[in-house]
Amino acid sequence: MKDIGEYNHKKVEIKHSKEWVEKGLYSIEKVKRENKFSVVIPPPNVTGSLHMGHALNVTLQDIVCRWQRMMGKDVVWVPGFDHAGIATQYVVDRQLQNMGKSRLELGREEFLKKVWEWVPVSRSSIKEQLEKIGVSVDWKRERFTLDEGFSRAVRYAFRKLYEDGLIYRGEYIVNWCPYDLTALSDLEVEHEEEEGKLYYIKYPFEDGSGYITVATTRPETMLGDTAVAVNPKDERYKGLLSKRLILPLVNWGRKTLKGQYVGNIIPLIADESVLSEFGTGAVKVTPAHDPNDFEMGKRHNLPFVEVMDEFARMNENAGPYSGLSRYEARKSIVENLEKLGLLEKVEGYRHAVGKCYRCKTVIEPRVSTQWFAKVSDERIKGEAIRVVSEGKVRFIPEGWKKVYLQWMENLKDWCISRQIWWGHRIPVWYCKDCGNENVFTDDDFERPYDKLIFNLIADGRIGYEFLPEELEKVLKEPSFVHPELSVLDLYKKFAFDKYHSMQVDANSLRLFFAQDMNPMAIITEKKNIYRYNRESKSYKFVLRCKKCGSENLQQEKDVLDTWFSSSLWPFAVFGWPERTKSLESLYPTDILITGFDIIFFWVARMVMMGTYFMKDIPFGDVYVHALVRDEKGQKMSKTKGNVIDPLDIIEKYGADALRFTLSILTQQGRDIKLSEKRFEGYKHFANKLWNAGRFILLNLDGDLLQSLPYGAPPKTEDLWILTKLNKTVYRVKEALSNYEFSDACRAIYEFVWSEFCDWYLEMSKLRLYAKPREEGEETRIKQERITAQATLLSVFDRILKLLHPFMPYITEELWKTLPTSYTESISIQEYPKHNPQEVYPEHEEKVERLKGIISAIRSLRSDLRIEPSKRIKLYYRADESEKLVEEFRDHILSLSRLEELTRVEERQASAISGYFRDFEFFIPLEEGIKVDELLTSYRKRYEEVLRSLENIDKKLSNENFLKRAPEEEVEKAKAIKEELTHERDKTAMLIKSLESVKTSAVNS
RNA sequence: GGGCGAUUAGCUCAGAGGAAGAGCGCCAUCCUCACACGAUGGAGGUCGGAGGUUCAAGUCCUCCAUCGCCCACCA
């Protein structure tokens, strides 16, 4: 007997989200491999806060994790964040610009400090959001793609790939963003259709014998042309191939990338790649500013002339155009060509323009020296294709498998270097003396101190020259991801996976350095690593070229593509490259849940790196969910102003409503269109559940558990609800096993609302509120009440558990109020299992029939406009339902609000009748009843029945149907026919009686 | 240029061979002792179009239309 009051989602949710984290409920140290269920979160970027897509993503993961946990698995869900190279740099750069500063004037080191100031801001805001959503991650295992251990893992990965010949450096044409000033991978370029122009330009022959017209969308690149190409089979140009052309406008010397000068006389060459059908069949060749032309330039050994700088401004090779932007230059060049009569024509032309995915600046293809991962190599690509095509890695929905495989088959090498500052600096040190590329990792050093110091230097935490005090300070600082640990502790825990009894105070460091510099050490072959500077009293960490021993080394300035580190995520979070216990017991992970937008960026690369480094898949299942759109189906974006912020929704409707809405809307392979209305709807569901709980608790006897043995045997409706419950449990299990989140939600929703609340709770009131009518009934009533309460409690307990993965907060809160709760959280209770012993088909059928009868009575009442509160007299006739009506007389009386229920032999003259199957009932006619509407509706129904009958007759008179359809189908059709015939007669009779009522009403 | 997905009630979507479903919205009656974030009842669909397979087609096949997405170096 307790009242939990009204549902207040804020009160409920604040209470538990902190509590779950503090109790460390979702933290498991030691995991049994055979019972593990591991998941790594797609780490959110530290660029701001979470949007609805993240909310969907983590909700689905949390549902799976909570479910598996309740199914008894040792669930480890690793959270973390992505440093998100360009994206984060871009965000911080923007902030600086708003303050009137630029990153270029700030310089690398100062800029990085600013980024490090920003990162924790974003991280803690995201972390708070995740906690509010209720994710059951293990925060003790949190990682950051740029934390100390991760950086070390990245260097290991780089080195291994480099030494295996799978990473190389070379001069190629790459996608260059003139705003972010970096190279981009092909994936980071977005192609957008644009209305452009196609310019036809005349290139005169050197000998004055006319000209060739070329077509181009980018006239400004002509300044870098070093040939014109045609298809060798093109008849139009066959005789001209020995001729040379004058490059218009250019009357200055141009310097090639190799430093030679070229003039304005260019050859006409033949190349297979030229399409005769396009334009004039002749194409200008600009090897330094077009990927096709680059290849052609290589094939024909053409000079490479660069005419733009890193900002996409025309450079000194552009003569008088130098200093102009590409678009200014285009305009000016077109004007000048026109003046010279060399512009033949200009056509409108729709074509795709490549843009930077981050800042939307038009990409400029540019020749530069970059690092590439040779992912096209069979050793990487082959395995990554195999594991997916063989089904070891399974995509859900399946359609993505094809998308993945197609992309993989056409894989080109991956440009992994970025000319930005924020990220993992490429661990290569160039020898200025012999030119060797030295890749260092801490493997190159033996003693723990050396390894530690090398890593700190490589990460830019300290300089090559440092004071011991400085070192001590850095090591004692709280680490970024785990402020409860010092940097040194973090290394011990997440990087080295061993406990080193290292002292970190300045004095013991000095002692160590002194040992290193011991004269005895100098005598030996080995050169010492540290060098003392008397003046500054600092120590220098000396790196030497592995080939020539020179100390004249310089580290690569470029950083790695952010996806390079993300691709290591599924094993690096567990401590790779060390063979940690976590790695052994938790890799491969069981499922990856992510959006389809990063299948290539991330999923594919994790498969490549996972299979390469771990010799095993990174995850078994990949569940690919849709993207969240606004109600019109448009992408949510800040500029459009159509963003629905998860935090606002949590505030207004609660995290439970947010989660339930997102998961019920998650259909495989479909975008999710969201409007705020949806959240409101499922908030109502939470409210309904709450009130059901409130009702049950209000009616529970305090000593219920003790009096259970004295309960009466269960009634039909008890067995019915148990049957329905078990069917629901089964449906949910099936749905979740197949990642059908929507089905699972709907099954629970329907059961809770339409069966449990609408019918069972109402029926239970008969026993709960029963008053003795005659003497000696008290005991029976008490016993029956116990059974009703026990059933309510037992079913509700299971409802809460069933629903917990979807709505963790409200279920936790309600469950704790139940007398049956005994552990600290519902989330570590066992998930309800389907129990075939609790399925009673005959009782189910009985109650379903009862529901039909009650609904039919209610329907007629409503049609007759009888007020809901009015109790009426009802007469009935029944055949097979007779016994049922007797058994449930009280239910019918109460649920259809009757005063009397009387059995009669004959239908009554002045009464309106209704029926449900064989159950026919009569409501005595009263004055003021409008029969017209009723008549219309019955007549309509009659027509419908006739039509259906016609169809079924046609079916049954079809010989082929009788011959070929399965027997049960024929039987079913016959049964339907019988029922329809019955209904036709009943309806006809009703109409007749209504008509007579109408005339008699008119007569009177 | 390839590929994928969508098209079912006013809106958002289930249904994947055997009598067209849900939620929201709408209409009517009710503030009935868990819940008006509610109860009860009701209206509303030739399942984008055209062919075909089948005894039987929202459901399988072919073509078409419209919308959306992804991939692709045609200047």
What is the spatial distance, in angstroms and rounded to an integer, between the CA atom of A982 and the C1' atom of B58?
Answer: 30
Query: Which nucleotides along chain B are within 7 A of a protein C-beta?
Result: 3-6, 11-15, 18-19, 22-24, 28-35, 37-43, 54-56, 68, 70-75
- pLDDT value of position A522: 55
Buried b (16+ CB within 10 A) or exposed e, A333-367: bbebbeeeebbeeeeeeeeeebbbbbeeebbbbbb
pLDDT for position A454: 94
Residue A930: predicted pLDDT:
66
Residue A312: band (very low, low, confident or very high) from pLDDT cuts 50, 70, 90: very high
The answer to whether residue A777 scores a pLDDT higher than 80 is yes
Tell me which protein residue sits closest to nucleotide B75, measuring alpha carbon to C1': A216
Nearest to A652 by CA among A628, A680, A671: A680
Residue nearest to nucleotide B73 (CA to C1'): A292
Q: Which residue is nearest to nucleotide B37 (CA to C1')?
A: A684
**From the alpha carbon of A275, which nucleotide's C1' atom is closest?**
B74
Distance A850 CA to B70 C1' (A): 53
Minimum-distance residue to B22 (CA–C1'): A746
Q: Give the closest residue to B68 (Cα–C1′).
A: A633
Which stretch of A396-400, A502-506, A768-772 has the lowest confidence by average pLDDT? Answer: A502-506
Mind listing the pLDDT tens digit for each residue in A954-964?
Answer: 888 888 888 88
Nearest nucleotide over every DNA/RNA strand to the A684 CA, judged by C1': B37
- Nearest residue to A293 (alpha-carbon basis) of A204, A367, A192, A191: A367
Distance in angstroms, CA of A787 to C1' of B64? 63
The protein residue nearest B32 (Cα–C1') is: A869
Across all strands, nucleotide nearest A653 (CA–C1'): B37
Identify the pLDDT of residue A499. Answer: 64
Q: Which residue is nearest to nucleotide B30 (CA to C1')?
A: A868
Protein CA A749 to sugar C1' B40 (Å): 20
Provide, in whole angstroms, the distance separating residue A671's CA from nucleotide B68's C1': 10
Distance from residue A339's CA to nucleotide B34's C1', rounded to whole Å: 86
Query: For residue A616, what pLDDT is reported?
Result: 95
Quote the radius of gyration of chain A (alpha carbons, Å). 39
pLDDT digits (tens, 9 = 90+) for A207-257: 888 889 999 999 999 999 999 999 888 888 888 888 899 998 888 889 998
Q: What is the pLDDT of residue A673?
A: 86
Q: How many angstroms separate the CA of A972 from the C1' of B45?
A: 25
Nearest DNA or RNA nucleotide to A854 (CA to C1'): B40
Q: Which residue is nearest to nucleotide B25 (CA to C1')?
A: A677
A76-107 tens-digit pLDDT? 999 999 999 889 999 999 999 999 998 888 99
Task: Give the model's pLDDT for residue A799.
Answer: 96
Average of per-residue pLDDT across A441-451: 88
Q: How far is the CA of A2 from the C1' of B34 (A)?
A: 12
Q: What's the CA A403/C1' B2 distance, rounded, in angstroms?
A: 12
Of the two residues A553 and A239, the one the predictor is more confident about is A553
Query: Is residue A1001 very low, low, confident or very high in pLDDT (cuts 50, 70, 90)?
Result: low
Which of A915, A916, A971, A983 minimizes the C-alpha distance to A944? A983
Q: Which nucleotide is nearest to A349 (CA to C1')?
A: B75
- Is residue A203 over pLDDT 60? yes
The more confident residue out of A654 and A776 is A654
User: What is the mean predicted confidence (pLDDT) over A600-619?
Assistant: 95
Q: Which of A510-524, A732-746, A865-879, A918-932 has the lowest mean pLDDT?
A: A510-524
> A744 CA to B13 C1', in Å?
15
State, as a whole number of angstroms, the distance between the CA of A465 and the C1' of B71: 50
pLDDT band per the 50, 70, 90 thresholds, residue A1004: very low
Separation of CA A526 and C1' B7 in angstroms? Answer: 75
A976 closest-nt by C1' vs CA = B19
Contact partners, residue A957, CB within 8 Å, separation at least 6: none
Residue A734, pLDDT above cutoff 60: yes
Higher pLDDT, A555 or A637: A555
Whether residue A374 has pLDDT greater than 50: yes
d(CA A941, CA A983): 10
Q: Distance between CA A735 and CA A664 in Å, rounded? A: 12
Residue A927 pLDDT greater than 80, yes or no: no
> What whole-number distance in Å separates Cα of residue A377 and Cα of residue A412?
9
- CA–C1' gap, A719 and B58, in angstroms: 36
Sequence length of chain A is 1004
The DSSP symbol for A136 reads -
Can you give the distance from the CA of residue A686 to the C1' of nucleotide B35 in angstroms?
11
Give the CA A961 to C1' B58 distance in Å.
22
Confidence of residue A280 (pLDDT cuts 50, 70, 90): confident
Distances from the Cα of A345 to the Cα of A25, A139, A230, A334, A341, angstroms? 72, 65, 20, 11, 10
pLDDT on residue A632: 75
Q: Which nucleotide is nearest to A692 (CA to C1')?
A: B34
pLDDT band at A519 (very low <50, low <70, confident <90, very high): low
Q: Which nucleotide is nearest to A278 (CA to C1')?
A: B74
| Average pLDDT for A608-632 | 91
Residue A737 pairs in a beta bridge with none
Query: Which nucleotide is at minimal CA–C1' distance from A9?
Result: B37
Find the nucleotide nearest A756 (Cα to C1′). Answer: B34
Residue A962's nearest nucleotide, by CA–C1', is B55
Confidence category of residue A521, pLDDT binned at 50, 70, 90:
low
Q: Are A934 and A923 in contact (CB under 8 A)?
A: no
Mean pLDDT throughout A116-132?
Answer: 94
Q: Which residue is nearest to nucleotide B15 (CA to C1')?
A: A743
- Tell me what pLDDT residue A945 has: 87
In the predicted model, is pLDDT for residue A928 greater than 90? no
Q: Which residue has the tokens 């290139």?
A: A203
pLDDT attached to residue A277: 84
Q: Indicate the pTM of the whole model.
A: 0.93
pLDDT of A295 above 80:
yes
What is the per-residue pLDDT for A965?
Answer: 87
pLDDT of A525 strictly over 80: no
Asked if the peptide bond before residue A204 counts as cis, ω within 30 degrees of 0, the response is no
**Confidence category of residue A821, pLDDT binned at 50, 70, 90:** confident
CA of A416 to C1' of B73 (A): 20
Q: Is A979 strand, coil or helix?
A: helix
Residue A72: pLDDT over 90: yes
Residue A925 is given by DSSP the state -
| Stretch among A439-448, A787-796, A900-909 having the lowest mean pLDDT | A900-909
ipTM of the complex: 0.95
